[in-house]
Structure 1
Amino acid sequence: VLGMYSLTQGCAVFSREQARQRALYPRTEKIEVTLQIPGLQGTLLVMNKGVSTPHSCARHLTEWYVTSSALALVDGNPWPLHQPLTQSCSLSLLTFKDTDPLLVNQAYWRSCAALLGQVLEDAFKEDFSVELIRVPEVLVTSGAFCCDVVLDPQLDAWNPSEESLRSLTRGAQQLIHRDLPWEPLEVVPPVALEVFSHSRCKQEEVEEKSAQSPKGTVMLYRCGDHVLLSGGPLVARTGLCSQYEVTAIHPLGEGEWGLHRRAQGLSLPFQLQAHHTVWRKLRSRAEKLVRKYYLSQF
């Protein structure tokens, strides 16, 4: 019940702050967005300041840009597709088929880990406490995305069966099928602390991330009724995921918050499919504990 209440409360705080920020910009104020897209180089779009997003810009182009765009570059900086534009700028739309997909791949791996955290909360929250701790920023080449978690002490002796992992995979596939957007919202620490009032771990992370941020802010994302804190941009929506499987949950030993575990998974976006024999090899690798991680550059 506490888990359900905290999710509902966090979502309400997110909605309230989102409405407050939107009210800061009258719809009549215009900005110019210059496209930096092959074949559309220099095309000018006139958009609404503080309201229009890169996704809004994509909708002025073809359906392919709407469905394939995962992330944007605004004046050369990574930018979530659903984050409002606040000044005239240049805009690139990034896809998984780009010549250099590094930024998109990093955002995708991060998003898959966020989805895994959401699935873990949904799976246990009715009966057991779930504390999502810092998400390791792992390289795509590590073979698996990761989400570190502390489950209710009553589950300390629990070892997930193959059926348990399949059940978590089904939960992820349901969220993917719903094609939910990851809605970004940049907030000051007091708002984030209110969103995560139920989590000491997340409150500590808010303090750390805001101290490291030049603007003293943190970036939240909402997906359905779940609000999360992210160290870097996420892709536009859950529907960009295609093949997705939860592959392992490894015990890491006692930590500050209790028994730390590392949940891991494997996924490919809808634009990049793997033959089942290749997938089996990738899956086998994704079952092994990922030990190394790097800190986000964002």
Structure 2
Amino acid sequence: MVRDGATPPRTTRSARLREAVAAWTFLSPNLLLLAVFLFLPLVWAVLLSFQRARSFGPSSWAGLANYERLLQDGVFWRSLLNTVIFTAATVPLSVLIGLGLALLMDKALPARGLFRTVVYLPIVVSTLVTSLVGLLLFDESIGVLNGMLADLGVGPVSWQTDGTLAMVSVVLMTLWTRVGFAMVVYLAALQDVPEDVVEAARVDGAGSWATVRQIVVPMLRSTTLFLVVVNVIWSFQIFDVVYVMTNGGPGYATSMLVTYAYEEGFGPPRNFGYGATVGVVLFLLTLVITLVQFRIQRRSGEES
């Protein structure tokens, strides 16, 4: 017997079944896209990394030969070092500059909306377009910057033939495309900072810098960790800016893991197996770094 007001078990099960069917129906298009464009290519890349596969001729099983070559490949280690240096330069600067702009834009300033739009515009525009803008700015022959320096009587700067300057140009253009995103995220997070806490700190005699450092920044810890994770992933996946502006040169001074994998797989070597090997290693490195950062974020959330 069923008590008054109680739902029959069969009705409950059928309702749950309908909810599950409806949920999977709505999720199926996204799951299908993920399977076709993410999971299947990832599995295929892992399998390809154990093969000798080129554009012409049949592929053959290579075992761990590609990974053994990777350990002895000086260009791979140079690309890995460049990626780490690039990440160490872009991630802190993009987060700090984004925070500074957010604090500035959170005030009542003239033309604040216009300035926000200008800073955020590179995020909306295609990265290929911003990369072409960077090429126009830093080109040694017809670049805008060298043209301005020539008008000032200064000799041309070797933005593309000097390895260090080439890396600097790539970092600068990457910062231009990222600080807008960090600024908008911080602006949204600043709306959740209690105004009464900030006012209490000011009443107690804390200056603007002390208020930001001791009150505002600690309250934005979760937002900062989110931006760090996102920017690290973006930095390890950098391709467009490097490929358009320097193509990994001069030499391998700006070669990154993604550009090296692309060069091996789709460049003149056409070594699909070895290119997939570099891609798999890049995926594993990104996964490990992301898991470590999420673990740090979880610990900081539990402590707070």
Taking structure 1 as the reference length, what is the TM-score of the superposition?
0.23
Between structures 1 and 2, the one with greater strand share: 1
Taking structure 2 as the reference length, what is the TM-score of the superposition?
0.23
Higher Rg of the two aligned structures: 2
